[in-house]
């Protein structure tokens, strides 16, 4: 398949919006790569610029050995799924799927045979004669995927392909898509604003903010070691505790509590320095009795999350969240202690 290499990629729209800002990125051959970031950060622009639907203002796009920066979309060997699917309403499922081959001027019988093959792979066999309006959302999504696959491209570009599905279908489609990508081994760039989706599906994730990449890493890396406050706040189903703090020698003072200085911060911070102490609710162990080096306060809220509860402690006016396992939940207004697990707290000084 193919490596994708973006070098200094910049896109400034007419009117002056800098949607991509000198972005460098290398996506490995066969990788399932997620582009994650809030609305408006430039994800769609990046995908469209790789596809050739937008022209780069500066920088280059390489797919495999080929510099495709100035090539039209049809000559880039990519298949794209658009967020709203962009199916042709007046065409049958077969003609929708076969469309990329029509652009390539393939013969009709060849187009129909290829469309039927892909339709069978995606479980769309019985639906070939229908129009898109006669399909469910999940089926439309598969037709869009089939159209992206039909020409057997080297690269898949998927723009929030699951965001129009309801929650249950979305989970099914996640598994389906991941399995399909594994089997086909096609280099895939998957755009999402949903951090849980990126963590669940991707081999690696790039977290974007305002046309730039703030961190690249495996799901485990961006979850456990967010490189900056932006990523720390963006990743995680329950928000990370980020507490204004100050270095006190070998310790750090946060919410009035002295805690051990995180290992990685040693030598990088100075005594008295203002920092932010970060620890995920997942990595705070709750205790109903006193523990040294812990956040201690009144239980303000207990939220049931199913197999765990999110407990909010009021620690001298600072709210600290801890995940507590089934059966160990405290009652509101109890006094509780939340102990940061060794090696799981982080310090930020990037403001």
Task: CB nearer to Mg ion: give 161 or 236.
Answer: 161
Helical ranges in 202-245 per DSSP H:
219-224, 229-234
Q: Does 13 bind ligand ADP (CB under 6 A)?
A: yes
Task: CB nearer to ligand ADP: give 19 or 232.
Answer: 19
Q: Does 15 bind ligand ADP (CB under 6 A)?
A: yes
For every residue of 125-148, DSSP letters joined together read: GGGTTS-GGGS-HHHHHHHHHHHH
DSSP secondary structure code for residue 257 in this structure: E
Q: Does 36 bind ligand ADP (CB under 6 A)?
A: no
Please choose, from the candidates 319, 317, 301, the residue with its C-alpha nearest in 3D space to the C-alpha of residue 241: 319
The span from the CA of 109 to the CA of 160, in Å, is: 32
What beta strand segments (E) does 263-327 contain? Answer: 274-279, 284-287, 295-304, 308-315, 318-325
Minimum CB separation from Mg ion for residue 50, in Å? 14
Q: Does 161 bind ligand ADP (CB under 6 A)?
A: no
The span from the CA of 16 to the CA of 96, in Å, is: 36
The span from the CA of 229 to the CA of 214, in Å, is: 10
- Residue 41 interacts, among Mg ion, ligand ADP, none and using kind-specific CB cut-offs from 5 to 8 Å, with ligand ADP
User: How many residues of this chain interact with ligand ADP, rule: CB under 6 A?
Assistant: 12
Task: CB nearer to Mg ion: give 61 or 208.
Answer: 208
Whether 79 contacts 153, CB under 8 Å:
yes
Minimum CB separation from Mg ion for residue 61, in Å? 18
Task: CB nearer to Mg ion: give 44 or 141.
Answer: 44
Q: Does 86 bind ligand ADP (CB under 6 A)?
A: no
Give the residue, chosen from 41, 78, 207, 313, that forms a contact with ligand ADP under the rule CB under 6 A.
Answer: 41
Minimum CB separation from ligand ADP for residue 45, in Å? 3
Give the residue, chosen from 5, 7, 10, 40, that forms a contact with ligand ADP under the rule CB under 6 A.
Answer: 40
Give the residue, chosen from 4, 31, 43, 156, that forms a contact with ligand ADP under the rule CB under 6 A.
Answer: 43
Q: Does 88 bind ligand ADP (CB under 6 A)?
A: no
Task: CB nearer to Mg ion: give 33 or 223.
Answer: 33
Give the residue, chosen from 42, 79, 297, 336, that forms a contact with ligand ADP under the rule CB under 6 A.
Answer: 42
Give the residue, chosen from 2, 25, 36, 44, that forms a contact with ligand ADP under the rule CB under 6 A.
Answer: 44
- Residue 42 interacts, among Mg ion, ligand ADP, none and using kind-specific CB cut-offs from 5 to 8 Å, with ligand ADP
Q: Which residues contact 178 (CB under 8 A, 6 or more apart)?
A: 32, 201
Whether 280 contacts 240, CB under 8 Å:
yes
**CA neighbours within 13 Å on the CB side: how many for 119?**
22
Give, as ranges, the residues between 278 and 297 that touch ligand ADP (CB under 6 A).
Answer: none
CB atoms within 10 A of CB 107: 9
Burial 74-105 (b: 16+ CB within 10 A, else e): eebbbbbbbbebebeeeebbbbbbbbbbeeee
The interface region with ligand ADP, picked from 11-19, 22-30, 97-105, 196-204 by CB under 6 A, is 11-19
SS3 153: coil
Give the residue, chosen from 23, 25, 45, 278, that forms a contact with ligand ADP under the rule CB under 6 A.
Answer: 45
- Residue 13 interacts, among ligand ADP, Mg ion, none and using kind-specific CB cut-offs from 5 to 8 Å, with ligand ADP
Chain residues in the site for Mg ion (CB under 5 A) = 44
Q: Does 214 bind ligand ADP (CB under 6 A)?
A: no
Comparing every residue's Cβ against Mg ion, the nearest one is 44
Q: Which residues contact 92 (CB under 8 A, 6 or more apart)?
A: 128, 129, 130, 131
Minimum CB separation from ligand ADP for residue 35, in Å? 8
Q: Does 351 bind ligand ADP (CB under 6 A)?
A: no
SS3 267: coil
Residues that bind ligand ADP (CB under 6 A): 13, 15, 17, 19, 37, 39-45
């Amino acid at each position: 398949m193919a490596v994708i290499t973006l070098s200094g990629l910049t896109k400034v729209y007419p009117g002056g919006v800098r949607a991509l800002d000198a972005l460098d990125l290398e996506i490995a051959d066969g990788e399932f790569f997620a582009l994650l970031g809030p609305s408006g950060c430039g994800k769609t622009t990046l995908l469209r610029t790789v596809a050739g639907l937008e022209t780069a203002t500066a920088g280059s796009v390489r797919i495999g050995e080929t510099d495709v920066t100035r090539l039209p979309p049809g000559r880039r060997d990519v298949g794209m799924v658009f967020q709203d699917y962009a199916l042709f309403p007046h065409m049958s499922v077969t003609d929708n799927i076969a469309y990329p081959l029509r652009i390539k001027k393939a013969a009709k019988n060849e187009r129909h045979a290829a469309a039927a093959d892909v339709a069978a792979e995606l479980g769309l066999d019985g639906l070939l004669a229908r129009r898109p309006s006669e399909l469910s959302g999940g089926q439309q999504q598969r037709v869009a995927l089939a159209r992206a696959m039909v020409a057997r491209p080297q690269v898949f570009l998927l723009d929030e392909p699951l965001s129009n599905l309801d929650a249950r279908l979305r989970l099914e489609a996640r598994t389906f898509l991941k399995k399909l990508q594994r089997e086909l081994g096609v280099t895939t760039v998957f755009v999402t604003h949903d951090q849980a989706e990126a963590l669940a599906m991707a081999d690696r994730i790039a977290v974007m903010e305002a046309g730039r990449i703030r961190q690249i890493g495996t799901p485990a890396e961006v979850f456990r070691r967010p490189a900056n406050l932006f990523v720390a706040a963006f990743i995680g189903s329950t928000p990370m505790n980020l507490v204004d703090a100050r270095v006190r020698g070998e310790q750090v003072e946060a919410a009035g509590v002295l805690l051990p200085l995180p290992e990685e911060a040693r030598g990088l911070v100075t005594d008295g320095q203002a920092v932010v102490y970060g620890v995920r609710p997942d990595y705070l162990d709750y205790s109903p009795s006193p523990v040294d080096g812990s956040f201690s306060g009144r239980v303000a809220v207990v939220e049931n999350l199913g197999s765990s509860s999110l407990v909010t402690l009021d620690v001298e006016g600072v709210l600290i969240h801890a995940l507590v396992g089934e059966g160990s939940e405290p009652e509101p207004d109890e006094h509780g202690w939340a102990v940061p697990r060794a090696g799981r707290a982080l310090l930020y000084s990037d403001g």
